[in-house]
Amino acid sequence: MSPAGRIARVVPDLGAGAPGGVYDYLVPEPLQEQLIPGQRVVVPFGRRRVFGLVVELTEESAVKGLRPVERIRDPEPLLLPQQISLAQWISTHYLSPLPEVIRAMVPPAMRGGRADARPVRRTRPVDESEGSLAGERPELNLSPEQERVFAPIERAVRWSSPEEFLLFGVTGSGKTEIYLAAIRTALERGRGAIVLIPEISLTPQTVARFSRHHPGGVAVLHSGLTPGQRGAEWRRVRSGRARVVVGSRSAVFAPMPNCGVVIVDEEDSTSYKQYDRVPRYHAVEVARRLGRILSVPVIMGSATPRLETYQQAAAGGPLTMLRLPRRYNGRPLPPVRVVDLREELAWGNRSPFSRELSAAVGRSLQEKGQVILFLNRRGTSSVVLCRGCGEALGCPSCSVSLTLHLPDRLCRCHYCGHFEPLPERCPTCQGPVLRALGAGTERVEAEARQLWPEARILRMDRDTVGHRDAHREIYEAFAERRADLLIGTQMVAKGWDLPGVRLVGIVNADIALHFPDFRASERTFSLLTQVAGRAGRGDEPADVILQTYSPDHPAVLRAVEHDYEGFAREELEVRRALRYPPFTRLLVVTRSDVREEVARADCEDEAARLRPQLKAQGVEVLGPGPAVIPRLRSLHRWQITLKGARLDGVAELLPAGKGWALDVDPA
């Protein structure tokens, strides 16, 4: 980039619905000395004047008759050079137009589409801990095992070496303490840290843990912030006042000057992939790229890393494997007992609780231990079927069945939000008998209240956690032992460190297992391992009871043994044989339209066109076929999947425009 170029490449108008291109402008003589990439400028656009962001300065343009940049909006660049490089990489790697990536990086409060818009009002930062903890210093005493894995991390942070680490440590092994030590090292060197954690783990307790050990102030970035709060946190980071950022997926875009380490906790969390809008990026891969751009280390931690990540470490590179195979303080991992639900059914037990699980819950409650019951399905029942004609109640806009929520007698679509009252009779045949099948958390709660009327029971799922405060209230009530039994979805599966939990009951281990996705087995294994990992963190022994219809499935068998590496070895063999990631790459092209024929015909045309063109490059074209959920929010969706060891260079050949979506490395 030439600092005194005469052409500025500008993303005009950062507002929503803005144009898709990058446009060239002349840089007038007086501005040539001052203009730098990342700055906001005022440019003419059509008949309007808009804010734009300079992404590059060059000497030449292919376009004739360029208009000039009018003025510099603010001398301090809005985006740092590292962010612009990152945006360029994301744009290329995830086939997303650069302006869309730039817009995703800039918080809404700072997009200010119209050049005559008023400046944003300043809002108080959200971090209540700021200031009060200043001066307190990380007396962090790592165990010898922790010291061993920390040594190479410390070296890399100290010397700013762009090394990538997989911190592969069992649940409760003390990974967070390693992150804290790495952050302390960065701060000691006058540098900052970006820490990504899954949205759901971003509790005040986690944030407090990160702010306790250093005086620099922690900025928190998550989806629950108002635009004003987000803007305020952004400015604290940009100005250097907050030197540590803790946030979910998009915190990887934090404008941190002088960042010294990038950390991704629970790197396998599905929340790191943005799949529903452009740019469809994976925050872990973006974090790794950021590390390379800045030449700083990246630490990815998990008890159940993605197989892609694990393989890159187990194969000896490019990731460095750091293992913490035991829990901190020598606590054992809890024993997992399997209950075969087929036998329960044969015995005539139709309740969500096997005899063994209900006995164990009763025993734990009697001994004043806490219980977590996990079921990855909310609502009362997942299907309402007519006894007469066999039809299931379906959503009018999506091809999924409606979930019954008995407390308000509503049938809800979990994909589009549609709801309707539970009908008295079958809408298809007017039959009088409707049966509800497939228990969800509401049903488990109702049965638990009947079985243990004395117990203080809480439920945590998307229905009870409408907003962040509700999440915090439920968590705190349980953490402070104001409740005995907590029923929850995957919201309760990760990260929690509660010593009072004596029993974890997995009500149905199979829910994710039969999903038509090559990662179903991996997901199930991870979820089971993580949930089981909530037990046994206190001084008293704890148990896990796992109920399943598939006791012989490898994901279940290995989870029972807490054997990630055994699972990974087998599963990687399967992936290699079937040529799935990490042994190949995928790119999904989706066409959606209100008319099914159009979506389908367009996909067929494209597949026929692409197949011969891509064959030479060794890229297979699979499909077209309907998406996993063929109709969503009234749109029919057809897909083509590209599969190949290398996908570079396919971009120019792919369809683009309205109705088409590209997802590179889909999750």
Q: Which residues are near ligand ADP by CB under 6 A? A: 141-143, 146, 169, 171-177, 328, 497
Taking CB under 5 A as the criterion, the residue among 58, 397, 399, 550 binding Zn ion is 397
Report the C-alpha gap between 330 and 336 in whole angstroms.
Answer: 18
Stretch that binds Zn ion, among 6-14, 411-419, 598-606, 646-654 (CB under 5 A): 411-419
Q: Which is nearer to ligand ADP, 305 or 624 (CB)?
A: 305
413 makes contact, choosing from Zn ion, ligand ADP, none, with CB < 5 to 8 Å by partner type, with Zn ion
Q: Which is nearer to Zn ion, 299 or 402 (CB)?
A: 402
Taking CB under 5 A as the criterion, the residue among 49, 292, 363, 418 binding Zn ion is 418
Is residue 322 near Zn ion by the rule CB under 5 A? no
Rounded to a whole number of angstroms, the minimum distance from the CB of residue 319 to ligand ADP is 18
Beta-carbon contacts of 12 under 8 Å, excluding residues fewer than 6 positions away, are: 18, 19, 23, 43, 45, 50, 51, 52
Rounded to a whole number of angstroms, the minimum distance from the CB of residue 459 to Zn ion is 23
Beta-carbon contacts of 635 under 8 Å, excluding residues fewer than 6 positions away, are: 592, 593, 594, 599
Report the C-alpha gap between 272 and 572 in whole angstroms.
Answer: 22
Rounded to a whole number of angstroms, the minimum distance from the CB of residue 429 to Zn ion is 22
Q: Which is nearer to ligand ADP, 284 or 647 (CB)?
A: 284
Q: Which is nearer to ligand ADP, 176 or 354 (CB)?
A: 176
418 makes contact, choosing from ligand ADP, Zn ion, none, with CB < 5 to 8 Å by partner type, with Zn ion
Rounded to a whole number of angstroms, the minimum distance from the CB of residue 535 to ligand ADP is 12
395 makes contact, choosing from Zn ion, ligand ADP, none, with CB < 5 to 8 Å by partner type, with Zn ion
Rounded to a whole number of angstroms, the minimum distance from the CB of residue 492 to ligand ADP is 14
216 makes contact, choosing from Zn ion, ligand ADP, none, with CB < 5 to 8 Å by partner type, with none
Rounded to a whole number of angstroms, the minimum distance from the CB of residue 141 to ligand ADP is 5
Rounded to a whole number of angstroms, the minimum distance from the CB of residue 416 to Zn ion is 3
Q: Which is nearer to ligand ADP, 163 or 265 (CB)?
A: 265
Rg, Å, the chain Cα set: 27
Q: Which is nearer to ligand ADP, 6 or 331 (CB)?
A: 331
Rounded to a whole number of angstroms, the minimum distance from the CB of residue 300 to ligand ADP is 13
Taking CB under 5 A as the criterion, the residue among 181, 263, 372, 413 binding Zn ion is 413
Rounded to a whole number of angstroms, the minimum distance from the CB of residue 383 to ligand ADP is 36
Taking alpha carbons only, the member of 544, 526, 534 closest to residue 335 is 544
398 makes contact, choosing from Zn ion, ligand ADP, none, with CB < 5 to 8 Å by partner type, with Zn ion
Report the C-alpha gap between 257 and 369 in whole angstroms.
Answer: 47
Is residue 415 near Zn ion by the rule CB under 5 A? yes
Q: Which is nearer to Zn ion, 398 or 572 (CB)?
A: 398
Rounded to a whole number of angstroms, the minimum distance from the CB of residue 556 to ligand ADP is 22
Q: In what order do the strands lie in the sheet with 410-412?
A: 419-421, 410-412, 403-405, 381-386, 434-439
Taking alpha carbons only, the member of 442, 434, 541 closest to residue 488 is 442
Contact 414, 381 (CB under 8 A): no
DSSP 653: G
Q: Which is nearer to ligand ADP, 340 or 497 (CB)?
A: 497
172 makes contact, choosing from ligand ADP, Zn ion, none, with CB < 5 to 8 Å by partner type, with ligand ADP
Taking CB under 5 A as the criterion, the residue among 79, 157, 398, 667 binding Zn ion is 398
Q: Which is nearer to Zn ion, 151 or 628 (CB)?
A: 628
DSSP 517: S
141 makes contact, choosing from Zn ion, ligand ADP, none, with CB < 5 to 8 Å by partner type, with ligand ADP
Task: Give a three-class secondary structure readout of 16-74.
Answer: CCCCCCCEEEECCHHHHCCCCCCCEEEEEECCEEEEEEEEEEECCCCCCCCCECCEEEE
171 makes contact, choosing from Zn ion, ligand ADP, none, with CB < 5 to 8 Å by partner type, with ligand ADP
Query: What is the per-residue DSSP string for 602-617?
Result: HHHHHHHHHHHHHHTT
Tell me the angle at which helices 175-188 and 144-158 cross, rounded to the nearest 10 degrees.
Answer: 30
Q: Which is nearer to Zn ion, 37 or 379 (CB)?
A: 379
Report the C-alpha gap between 641 and 652 in whole angstroms.
Answer: 16
Q: Is 316 left (phi over 0), alpha (psi -120 to 50) or beta?
A: left
The residue type of 252 is V
Whole-angstrom CA distances from 137 to 212, 243, 269, 606 are 8, 15, 31, 60
Stretch that binds Zn ion, among 15-23, 276-284, 304-312, 418-426 (CB under 5 A): 418-426
Classify each residue of 461-492 as buried b or exposed e, where b means 16 or more C-beta atoms within 10 Å of its C-beta.
Answer: bebbbeebeebeebbeebbeeebbbbbbbbbb
Stretch that binds Zn ion, among 83-91, 127-135, 410-418, 530-538 (CB under 5 A): 410-418
Beta-carbon contacts of 455 under 8 Å, excluding residues fewer than 6 positions away, are: 365, 448, 484, 485
Report the C-alpha gap between 360 and 369 in whole angstroms.
Answer: 11
Rounded to a whole number of angstroms, the minimum distance from the CB of residue 577 to Zn ion is 36
Residues 337-396 that bind Zn ion (CB under 5 A): 395
Phi, psi of 149 (to 5 degrees): -80, -25
Residue 72 pairs with which residues in a beta bridge? Answer: 41
Contact 441, 424 (CB under 8 A): no
397 makes contact, choosing from ligand ADP, Zn ion, none, with CB < 5 to 8 Å by partner type, with Zn ion
Q: Which residues bind Zn ion (CB under 5 A)?
A: 395, 397-398, 413, 415-416, 418
